[in-house]
A and B are shown apart, each in its own frame.
Chain A
Amino acid sequence: MKLIKSIVRPNKVDEVKDSLAKLNIAGMTVTEVRGHGKQKGHTAIYRGKEYNVSLLPKMEIEVVVPDSLADDAIKAIVTAARTGEIGDGRVFVLPVLESYRIRTGERES
Chain B
Amino acid sequence: MSVTQPGPGDSTLVATFNAARLELKADVLRGAGGRVALERYADRVDALLRQLFAEAGGASVPVAIVALGGYGRRHLCVHSDIDLLVLFGGRIDAAEEQFLRGFLHPLWDLGVVVGHQVRELDDFAQLETDNPEFLLALLDARPVAGARQLFDRFGVLFHTPATHAFILTSLLQLMEERHARFNGTLYQLEPDVKEAPGALRDLAATRTIAMLTDPLLLRRGPADAARVDEAEDFLLRVRSTLHLEAGRNQNSLSHEMQERTANLLGYPGTGHGQRVERLMSDYFRHARIVARSLEWARRSAPLPVGPNLGLSREGVRFLDPLQAARHPASWLGAFRSALEHQTTVAEEALSCIQQHVDRYRADDFFPQAVDRVALLHFLTPRLGLYARLSEMHDCGLLGRVFPEFQAISWRVVRDFYHKYTVDEHTLLTIRNLERVSTTDEPSRRRFRNVASELVHPELLVLALLLHDVGKWRDDDHTVESERMAKEAVDRLQLTAEARDTVLFLIRHHIRMSLVAFRRDTEDPEIVKEFAAFIGSEERLKMLCLMTLADIEAVSPDTLTPWKEELLWRLYVDTYNHLTQRYGDDRIERNQAGLDELLRQRPDDLSTAEITRFLEGLPQRYLQLFAPEAIYRHVRLARDIHPDEVHVSLERDHSGVWTLAVATLDKPFLFSNICGVLSSYGTNIIRGHALTNPNGLVLDIFQFTDEDRFLELNADGQERLLQTLQDVVAGAEDVAIRLRGRERGVLQSRAAPRFAPVVRTDNGASGRYTILDVVATNAIGLLYRISGTISKHGCDVDLVLIATEGEKAIDVFHITKGGSKLTEAEQQALTSDLQRTLEGTL
Distance from A55 Cβ to chain B, minimum over Cβ atoms (Å) = 8
Distance from B441 Cβ to chain A, minimum over Cβ atoms (Å) = 17
Q: Is A103 an interface residue (CB 8 A)?
A: no
A48 adjacent to B560 (CB under 8 Å): no
* Contact A45:B759 (CB < 8 A) given known A11-B517, A32-B563, A57-B562: yes
Q: Which of A32, A33, A47 has the most CB of B within 10 A?
A: A47
Q: Is A100 an interface residue (CB 8 A)?
A: no
Type the 1/0 row for B772-815, where 1 means its CB is closer than 8 Å to any CB of A: 11100000000000000000000000000000000001000000
* Contact A10:B572 (CB < 8 A) given known A45-B759, A83-B520: no
Complex CA–CA separation, A83 to B526 (angstroms): 14
Complex CA–CA separation, A53 to B761 (angstroms): 19
Complex CA–CA separation, A57 to B772 (angstroms): 28
**Which B residues are in CB contact (< 8 Å) with A47?**
757, 772, 774, 809
B window 701-737: CB within 8 A of A: none
Distance from A80 Cβ to chain B, minimum over Cβ atoms (Å) = 13
* Contact A48:B576 (CB < 8 A) given known A10-B517, A14-B518, A87-B522: no
**Which A residues are in CB contact (< 8 Å) with B569?**
44, 53, 57
Complex CA–CA separation, A53 to B566 (angstroms): 11
Interface of B, helix, strand, loop or mixed by DSSP: mixed
**Which A residues are in CB contact (< 8 Å) with B519?**
11
B562 adjacent to A32 (CB under 8 Å): yes
Indicate which residue in B521, B563, B565, B759 contacts A48 across the interface (CB closer than 8 Å): B759
Complex CA–CA separation, A33 to B563 (angstroms): 10
Type the 1/0 row for A96-108, where 1 means its CB is closer than 8 Å to any CB of B: 0000000000000
**Which A residues are in CB contact (< 8 Å) with B759?**
45, 48
Q: Is B758 an interface residue (CB 8 A)?
A: yes
**Which A residues are in CB contact (< 8 Å) with B809?**
47-48
B565 adjacent to A57 (CB under 8 Å): yes
Nearest-neighbor residue (CB-CB) of A58 within chain B: B562
**Which B residues are in CB contact (< 8 Å) with A48?**
757-759, 772-774, 809
Indicate which residue in A9, A12, A33, A44 contacts B562 across the interface (CB closer than 8 Å): A33
Complex CA–CA separation, A33 to B566 (angstroms): 12
The bracket for how many chain B residues form the interface is 20 to 34
A49 adjacent to B774 (CB under 8 Å): yes
Complex CA–CA separation, A31 to B575 (angstroms): 29
A window 1-60: CB within 8 A of B: 9-12, 14, 32-34, 44-49, 53, 57
Distance from B451 Cβ to chain A, minimum over Cβ atoms (Å) = 15
Distance from B575 Cβ to chain A, minimum over Cβ atoms (Å) = 7
Complex CA–CA separation, A93 to B757 (angstroms): 48
A57 adjacent to B566 (CB under 8 Å): yes
B576 adjacent to A46 (CB under 8 Å): yes
Complex CA–CA separation, A53 to B446 (angstroms): 15
**Which B residues are in CB contact (< 8 Å) with A12?**
520
Complex CA–CA separation, A87 to B523 (angstroms): 12
**Which B residues are in CB contact (< 8 Å) with A53?**
569
Distance from A31 Cβ to chain B, minimum over Cβ atoms (Å) = 9
Distance from B498 Cβ to chain A, minimum over Cβ atoms (Å) = 26
A45 adjacent to B562 (CB under 8 Å): no
Distance from B576 Cβ to chain A, minimum over Cβ atoms (Å) = 7
**Which B residues are in CB contact (< 8 Å) with A10?**
517-518, 566
Distance from B523 Cβ to chain A, minimum over Cβ atoms (Å) = 8
**Which B residues are in CB contact (< 8 Å) with A45?**
576, 759, 761, 772
* Contact A46:B572 (CB < 8 A) given known A11-B519, A14-B518, A85-B522: yes
Indicate which residue in B563, B565, B757 contacts A49 across the interface (CB closer than 8 Å): B757
**Which A residues are in CB contact (< 8 Å) with B576?**
45-46
Distance from A96 Cβ to chain B, minimum over Cβ atoms (Å) = 27
**Which A residues are in CB contact (< 8 Å) with B575?**
46
Type the 1/0 row for B568-585, where 1 means its CB is closer than 8 Å to any CB of A: 010011011000000000
Distance from A103 Cβ to chain B, minimum over Cβ atoms (Å) = 21
Type the 1/0 row for A50-88, where 1 means its CB is closer than 8 Å to any CB of B: 000100010000000000000000000000000101010
Complex CA–CA separation, A3 to B801 (angstroms): 54
**Which B residues are in CB contact (< 8 Å) with A83?**
520
Nearest-neighbor residue (CB-CB) of A85 within chain B: B522
Distance from B544 Cβ to chain A, minimum over Cβ atoms (Å) = 12
Complex CA–CA separation, A87 to B759 (angstroms): 28
Distance from A51 Cβ to chain B, minimum over Cβ atoms (Å) = 9
Complex CA–CA separation, A9 to B566 (angstroms): 11
A34 adjacent to B772 (CB under 8 Å): no
Distance from A50 Cβ to chain B, minimum over Cβ atoms (Å) = 9
**Which B residues are in CB contact (< 8 Å) with A87?**
522
Complex CA–CA separation, A47 to B758 (angstroms): 10
Type the 1/0 row for B798-841, where 1 means its CB is closer than 8 Å to any CB of A: 00000000000100000000000000000000000000000000
**Which B residues are in CB contact (< 8 Å) with A11?**
517-521
Complex CA–CA separation, A47 to B541 (angstroms): 14
**Which A residues are in CB contact (< 8 Å) with B566?**
10, 57
Complex CA–CA separation, A49 to B446 (angstroms): 12
Complex CA–CA separation, A53 to B560 (angstroms): 17
Nearest-neighbor residue (CB-CB) of B756 within chain A: A48
B window 506-522: CB within 8 A of A: 517-522
**Which B residues are in CB contact (< 8 Å) with A34?**
562, 565
Distance from A84 Cβ to chain B, minimum over Cβ atoms (Å) = 12
Complex CA–CA separation, A49 to B773 (angstroms): 10
B window 136-167: CB within 8 A of A: none
Nearest-neighbor residue (CB-CB) of B566 within chain A: A57
Distance from A45 Cβ to chain B, minimum over Cβ atoms (Å) = 7
Complex CA–CA separation, A7 to B758 (angstroms): 38
* Contact A9:B758 (CB < 8 A) given known A32-B562, A46-B572, A57-B565: no
Complex CA–CA separation, A48 to B834 (angstroms): 13
Nearest-neighbor residue (CB-CB) of A14 within chain B: B518
Distance from A85 Cβ to chain B, minimum over Cβ atoms (Å) = 7
A32 adjacent to B758 (CB under 8 Å): no
Nearest-neighbor residue (CB-CB) of B517 within chain A: A10
Complex CA–CA separation, A9 to B522 (angstroms): 10
Distance from B800 Cβ to chain A, minimum over Cβ atoms (Å) = 11
**Which A residues are in CB contact (< 8 Å) with B563?**
32
Distance from B231 Cβ to chain A, minimum over Cβ atoms (Å) = 70
**Which A residues are in CB contact (< 8 Å) with B757?**
47-49
Q: Which of A11, A33, A48, A83 has the most CB of B within 10 A?
A: A48
Distance from A60 Cβ to chain B, minimum over Cβ atoms (Å) = 11
Nearest-neighbor residue (CB-CB) of B571 within chain A: A46
Distance from A82 Cβ to chain B, minimum over Cβ atoms (Å) = 12
Complex CA–CA separation, A44 to B521 (angstroms): 13
Distance from B450 Cβ to chain A, minimum over Cβ atoms (Å) = 10
**Which A residues are in CB contact (< 8 Å) with B560?**
32
**Which B residues are in CB contact (< 8 Å) with A85?**
522
Complex CA–CA separation, A49 to B757 (angstroms): 7
18 additional A-B pairs beyond A44-B572, A47-B809, A83-B520, beta carbons within 8 Å, are A9-B520, A10-B517, A11-B517, A11-B519, A11-B520, A14-B518, A32-B562, A45-B759, A45-B772, A46-B575, A47-B774, A48-B757, A48-B773, A49-B757, A49-B774, A57-B562, A57-B569, A87-B522
The 5 lowest CB-CB distance pairs between A and B, nearest first, are A48-B772, A32-B562, A48-B757, A48-B759, A48-B774
A-B contact pairs, 26 of them (CB 8 A): A10-B517, A10-B518, A11-B517, A11-B518, A11-B519, A14-B518, A32-B560, A32-B562, A32-B563, A33-B562, A34-B565, A44-B569, A44-B572, A45-B576, A45-B759, A45-B761, A46-B575, A47-B774, A47-B809, A48-B759, A48-B773, A48-B774, A57-B569, A83-B520, A85-B522, A87-B522
